[in-house]
Chain A
Amino acid sequence: MSDTLVDFDEVLTRYEPVIGLETHVELGTASKMFCGCSTTFGAEPNTQTCPVCLGLPGSLPVVNAAAIEATIRIGLALGCRIATWSRFARKNYFYPDIPKGFQTSQYDEPLCIAGHLDVEVDGETHRVEIERVHLEEDTGKNLHVGGATGRIHGASHSLVDFNRAGIPLVEIVTRPIPGTGAQAPEVAKAYVTELREILLALGVSEVRMEQGNLRCDVNTSLAPVGSLEWGTRTETKNVNSLRSVERSVRHEMRRQAAVLDAGQRVLQETRHFHEDSGSTSPGRSKEEATDYRYFPEPDLVPVAPDAEWVEKLTAELPELPGARRTRLQEEWGLSATEMSWLTGAGALGLVDATVAAGATPGDARKWWLGELARRANDAGVELAELAITPRQVAELTALVSAGTVNDQLARQALDGVLAGEGDPAQVVESRGLAVLGESDELVSAVEAAIAGAPDVVAKVQGGKVQALGALVGAVMKTTRGKADAATVRRMLEERVL
């Protein structure tokens, strides 16, 4: 059953969206949140479990210090206030992926409160208020058997792997974000993108979305233009790529507009996002907070981060993406547009590292946004996934500036590097790509060209100097592009004129 949808631009003539995001991030700790089981991704099912994360009777959890520290650092990076007193709570619900019958989470006393993150969309800055950042544990993974393509619908039974259960999970909750209008889908995406950059800069998580390190629940509501009250929101669960975040907001806006246009009410519910169609479908009816019967976790004592420690963590924060962008834009003398090309291509960090390895900012940008971007695009991968390091790109630019290779030969050297033949200098050596100096080989090629085209020589000597181009071309052909054109021209002129 597919929903009626209103054209996106038309939605905005009648309604204003309010969005909100809950983002779950799996921390990159070595061990789980409350026990010493490994967190390694992709291990054989149920090989990383113990009495604590299986919720066996009599087992007692102990908090992973590194997870607390990572959460506080995330809070600080988002400008949050760090609580001086914080507790864990039990969130009670029954579902097969939760072995204890409750998830250890935080309720009324989270670790970090009231921060913000500024995101930019088309040159416009939107401030996203952060309500809270809290720490909890991940659940196990269900595999549904007997239905179509692993869907829960129609499955005969399910199989559970508890390796993931108990991995530290940080939840970052925004306050409702009003006033984004037509940019709502892009703001949602830009927020998650920026958040991901911050998490990477902090080094608290690998943030690999395809591995589920970062998962978003996206809230969307619509209210008639000019209305003082916000509409009823839906929560689209487990949106697992940046593009899907944008698409899910767009879809919900279009779907809810159709519901409201028909004079009906939007149901407050959980919805599932479908990657293939970009649409959403209803899930279980939303449980109220009271349904979870939260209560303080009696097996864990409170966490009270002392001020000195928080101060130390604040002082140790790395340069954050926003500050870094501002600094690099200034250092490299780029316009805002040029800067947005770099960030949009995911090339900022790569160019920075290439400059650090000795290239000029101009050369580094030229290669990453030019030849390398083209190859990444052809291969359908991200720039960072190309089999070349910033140091190798810097080496290539050095070979060009030293005149060892010209741009065309450098591109051939790039082929070799990408094919795994080694560093640029090695490839130039092994493939024999170096530009020919005034060597015997080049001299004989020049003389052969002159001898082979007496008619052209006569023309040049008769005053048609531009005819020399044909001779240059002939030399380049014999040397298979390895000669420097300017050198060849000079050598020809010396002999013909």
Chain B
Amino acid sequence: MSSPSPQERPGPGDTAGLGRQDVAQLARLARLALTDEELDHFAGQLSAVLDAVAQVGKADVGDVPPMTHAVPLTNVTRPDVVTPSLLRDVVLAGAPAAEDDRFRVPQILGEEQ
């Protein structure tokens, strides 16, 4: 069994608030353009959420083995059998835009120089 000990993972207790820079980095990864005001705004809000969750860290769990999943099951699998797919028209009906039987997405930026 090699499930990681709680020390190996940063728990909610380790996050002492989010700085403006953290939020800017998260926004970049989420491809969101945020203004300076929004960064301040979300830094405060997200820190409050994290602080609330961090209370879990106060619980004494020294004797409790780390839990790997909410459901105590392993090896839930399905056989390698093909089942019908959705009809393409149905699939593309859910797309914001479609072209040539494909999902149409805006220009992808910042990938190649």
Q: For residue A152, which residues in chain B have a CB less than 8 angstroms away from its CB? A: 108, 111-112
Q: How far is the CB of B106 from chain A (nearest CB, A)?
A: 6
For B7-44 the 0/1 string (1 means CB < 8 A from A) is 01000000000000000010001110000000000000
Instruction: Judge whether B107 and A156 touch: CB under 8 Å.
Output: yes
Given that A36-B78, A44-B101 are known contacts, is A302 also in contact with B69, CB under 8 Å in the complex? yes
B113 — nearest CB in chain A belongs to which residue? A282
CB distance A65 to B102 under 8 Å? no
B79 in contact with A65 (CB, 8 Å)? yes
A65 near B91 with CB under 8 A, answer: no
Given the interface contacts A62-B77, A301-B75, does A159 sit within 8 Å of B104 by beta carbon? yes
- Bound-state CA distance A152–B106 (Å) is 11
Known contacts A37-B82, A157-B105, A291-B29: A304-B70 contact under CB 8 Å: no
Task: Say whether B82 contacts A63, CB under 8 Å.
Answer: no
CB A376 to nearest CB in B, in angstroms, measures 35
- List residues of chain B with CB within 8 A of the CB of A64: 77-78, 80
Cα A301 to Cα B77 with chains together (Å): 9
B18 to chain A, nearest CB (A): 13
Distance A300 CA – B68 CA, assembled complex (angstroms): 11
In the bound assembly, the distance between CA atoms of A405 and B74 in angstroms comes to 65
Q: Mark B51-87, 1 if CB is under 8 A from A, else 0.
A: 0000000000000000011110111111111111110
Q: Assess whether B4 is in contact with A108, with CB atoms less than 8 Å apart.
A: yes
Q: Report A159-194 CB contacts with B as 1/0, cut-off 8 Å.
A: 111100000000000000000000000000000000
Distance in angstroms from B84 CB to nearest chain A CB is: 8
Measured CB to CB, the nearest residue on chain A to B100 is: A159
Whether B77 lies near A158 (C-beta < 8 A) is: no
**A158 and B108 contact, Cβ closer than 8 Å, known pairs A65-B77, A301-B71:** yes
Determine the chain B residues whose CB is within 8 A of the CB of A287 once the complex forms: 29
Partner of B2, one of A31, A47, A84, A272: A84
User: Complex formed: what's the CA distance from A152 to B107 in Å?
Assistant: 8
Knowing A30-B81, A44-B88, A46-B88 touch, does A304 contact B75 (C-beta < 8 A)? yes
Is A96 within 8 A of B108, CB to CB?
Answer: yes
Q: How far is the CA of A37 from the CA of B80 in the complex (A)?
A: 10
Instruction: Give min CB distance, A30 to chain B, whole Å.
Output: 5
When distances are taken between beta carbons in the complex, the residues of chain B under 8 Å from A58 are none
* Of A56, A296, A302, most B-chain CB atoms within 10 Å: A302
Contacts of A202 in B (CB 8 A): none
Contacts of B77 in A (CB 8 A): 62-65, 68
Q: Which of B8, B25, B103 is packed against the most chain A CB atoms within 10 Å?
A: B103
A62 touches B76 (CB 8 A): yes
Interface-centre pick from B70, B81, B82 (highest chain A CB count, 10 A): B82
Q: A300-B76, A303-B74 are in contact. List 18 more A-B contacts (CB 8 A).
A: A30-B80, A30-B82, A35-B83, A45-B100, A50-B85, A51-B86, A62-B76, A83-B2, A87-B68, A94-B31, A108-B4, A108-B8, A161-B101, A161-B103, A162-B91, A272-B112, A301-B69, A301-B71
